[in-house]
Amino acid sequence: MFAERFLPLINSFPNDADALRRVANYFEDLENRQGERVFKVRLHANRLFDISQAGSTYRLARLIQILLDANLLERRLIVRSPLGGGVEYRSHEAIPSVVLDPLRDVEMDVTEENLEASYVVVANGSN
């Protein structure tokens, strides 16, 4: 179970244990319903805020950093097309200033308006 990988973290980070437990419960429930598809999860920071009930953006940032450091989640950057889809990058450095929007076949400027972070599950420590 993916959720079991949270147990050491819950013990190691007592200040964030409640939020970590909620995230673990979310993944456990999802895995019970969706099985292996849990490894396809991709969450926006807003959704992680709701799942973890982190309470503040500072605590959410700290929680996300714990999950990134533990190699449970990995950050991906999406340049979002107005049509809904997007082009994915693994780091800010890799993002050009202009990208081709494949849904519309037009070039679009990358701005803070259309750039968003999402968090994907790291299956078996690598993704």
Partner 1 sequence: MLNHKDAQLAQLIFRLLKQATSQQLVKNFLKEKNIPTSALNWDDLFAKRIEPALNESKITIDELRSLLKDVEEFGRQHTFLFRCPPETAKKIISRVRIEKIAEEQKLTSLLTTPLDLELPEDPTLVDIRIIQPDKNQPPTGLVIKMVETRITKVLLAETTDFDAGRMTKTYSVSRKRAVNIAHLDANGLLELRIASRDNQSRYLDNLKALQVKISKFIPRDGFAPVSLSTAKDKLLNNRKMLANEIRYSHSSARNDFGFVMNVSSSSQEENLSTDDGSMAALDSFLANEGHVTGTNIYVKIPDAEPQREIHILLSGEVNEFAVPIWCSSGDYAYVRGKILTLNQ
Which parts of this chain interact with partner 1 (CB under 8 A)?
30, 34, 37, 40-44, 46-47, 49-50, 55-57, 83-85, 112-113, 118, 120
What are the Cα distances from residue 76, in Å, to 9, 82, 124, 126? 22, 18, 18, 14
Residue with tokens 């308006």: 113
Q: Which two tokens stand for residue 57?
A: 């953006």
User: At closest approach, how far in Å is the CB of 53 from partner 1?
Assistant: 8
Nearer to partner 1 by Cβ, of 8 and 24: the residue is 24
Structure tokens at 111: 């701005």
Nearer to partner 1, 37 or 90 (CB): 37
Instruction: CB nearer to partner 1: give 5 or 26.
Output: 26
